[in-house]
Structure 1
Amino acid sequence: MEDTGPPAAAASGAPGARVDGAGAGAERPVAKALKVVVAVDASEESLHALSWALDNIVRCHPNASLVVVHAQHAVDHFVYPIAAHGIGIAYAPPSAVESMRKAQEENSRRILARALDLCKERQVDATAAVVEGDAKEAICQAVEQMQAGLLVLGSRGLGKIKRAFLGSVSDYLSHHACCPVLVVKPTKAQVK
C-alpha cells in the first residue's frame, strides 16, 4: 500500500489543520481574534456594559477587536397615520422628515462619541457603527454580518411587568443572536 502523505486539509494548510508530531515543522491551529461587539444607547447602563467589557474582556484578550454599535429607528418609524375626513393617511412634509433624520444622526454621533471616548480613556482602539431599524433585530443582524464572537450589552433592569409589555432587548438578543451574549447588569448604585 502506497503512502500518499498527510491528509488533504493538513497539506493544504487549511485553517485549523494540524499535523501531528512534535517536529519543528508541526503546524498549530491558528487562533482567530475575538471580535467583541458592544451595543450602546443613551443609557448609563450601556456605558457601564462597555466599561465592563473593556476592563474584563478586551484587556484579557489583547488581539480582540472592538466594535461599538448603536441602533437608531428608521425615520419612517416616527411618521404615524392621522385621520383626515375618516381616511387614515400618513403624511409628513419632507422638511420634517429631513429634520428628524438629522436629529437622529446627531444623537447617534453623540452616543458613539461618548462610547469611543471611554475606549480612548482605556487606550483601546474601537470602531463604531450605526445600524438602522428596531434595536432587537438590527443588532441581531449586525452581529451576524460582523461575525462577532461576543455581544455585550447592558440591562436596564426592567421589572417583570415592564419587560412583559415593553419587551427586553437583552432577552431577545440572548435568544436570537448568532454568538454568545453577555448581559451586564447595572450596579446597585445605578438601580437606585
Structure 2
Amino acid sequence: MVKGRILGLGMDYSPTSKAALRWAIDNLIQSADHLILIHVRSAKSDSDQKKLWGDSGSPLIPLEELRHTTVSKQYGLNPDAEVLDLLDTVSRTKGVKVTCKVYWGDPREKLCDAVDDLKLNSLLVGSRGLGTLKRVLLGSVSNYVVMNATCPVTVIKGTQGSKP
C-alpha cells in the first residue's frame, strides 16, 4: 500500500479557511493522503473536552464522527454542510483519509504545535487579509505560522468581500 502525506489544514469555517480547503483539494491533495482539519478553540473555553484533552488536544476525530452533531458539539465545533460535502467528496474520489483534531489556546502556537504533534508534511492556512495596521495590532496567525512552523506552510488568500 502506498503511504500518502499527512497534510494539516487550519479550519475555523471562515471564508478563507474554506478557500484553503478548496485550493488544497484542487491543487495539492493526492490519492492516499491523510488530511487533518485542525481546529483551535479559545483557551477560555470551559468544556468537558477541554478539561480532558486541553494539554494534548483531542484524539483524532474521523470524518464519520465529525458529521454527527453530538460529537461536533462536544468539541464546540459547528461544521457546515459545504465543508462536510467537500470532505466527503475528496474522501470518496481520491481515497483521502480525513480526520479532525481540536486544540485549545492561541491559534499561532497551537498550529505550530500541531505540525510536530501530528508529524505533518505540510500545513495550509487561510489568510484573513488584514490591512497593515490591523496586522500590526492584532498579529497575523499566518505570518507567525510561516515563520515558526517546522514544515512547509501554504497560505491561501481569499478575496476581500466576496466568496473566495
Both proteins in one fold, TM over 0.5: yes
Q: Which runs of 5+ in 1 are unaligned?
A: 1-30, 77-96
Question: Which residue in the other structure is 2:28 paired with?
Answer: 57
How far the C-alpha of 1:125 sits from its partner, in A, is: 3.5
The ranges of structure 1 where at least 4 consecutive aligned residues each deviate by more than 6 angstroms after the TM superposition are none
Q: What code does the residue aligned with 1:109 have?
A: L
How far the C-alpha of 1:189 sits from its partner, in A, is: 5.8
Conserved in 1, the CA contact under 8 Å of 2:33 and 2:97?
Answer: no
- Pair member with larger Rg: 1
Larger deviation: 109-118 or 137-146?
Answer: 109-118
How far the C-alpha of 1:62 sits from its partner, in A, is: 1.1
Question: Which residue in the other structure is 1:12 paired with?
Answer: none
Question: Which residue in the other structure is 1:3 paired with?
Answer: none
How far the C-alpha of 1:150 sits from its partner, in A, is: 0.5
Q: What code does the residue aligned with 2:87 have?
A: C
Are 1:118 and 2:86 an aligned pair?
Answer: yes
How far the C-alpha of 1:39 sits from its partner, in A, is: 0.4
Cα distance between partner residues in 2 of 1:131 and 1:112: 19
Q: What code does the residue aligned with 2:133 have?
A: I
Cα distance between partner residues in 2 of 1:139 and 1:68: 11
Q: What code does the residue aligned with 1:54 have?
A: I
RMSD: 2.7
1:168–1:191 distance in 2 versus 1, CA, 3 Å: farther
How many residues in Structure 1 have an aligned counterpart in Structure 2? Answer: 136
1:146–1:152 distance in 2 versus 1, CA, 3 Å: same
Conserved in 2, the CA contact under 8 Å of 1:36 and 1:66?
Answer: yes
1:58-137 to structure 2, matched below 5 A, reads: 58=29, 61-75=30-44, 97=46, 106=73, 108-111=76-79, 115-122=83-90, 123=92, 124-137=96-109
Percent identical among aligned pairs is 35
Question: Which residue in the other structure is 1:181 paired with?
Answer: 153
Cα distance between partner residues in 2 of 1:39 and 1:153: 5
How far the C-alpha of 1:54 sits from its partner, in A, is: 1.1
Q: What code does the residue aligned with 2:42 have?
A: H
Cα distance between partner residues in 2 of 1:158 and 1:109: 24
Q: Which runs of 5+ in 2 are unaligned?
A: 51-71
Conserved in 2, the CA contact under 8 Å of 1:153 and 1:170?
Answer: yes
How far the C-alpha of 1:110 sits from its partner, in A, is: 1.0
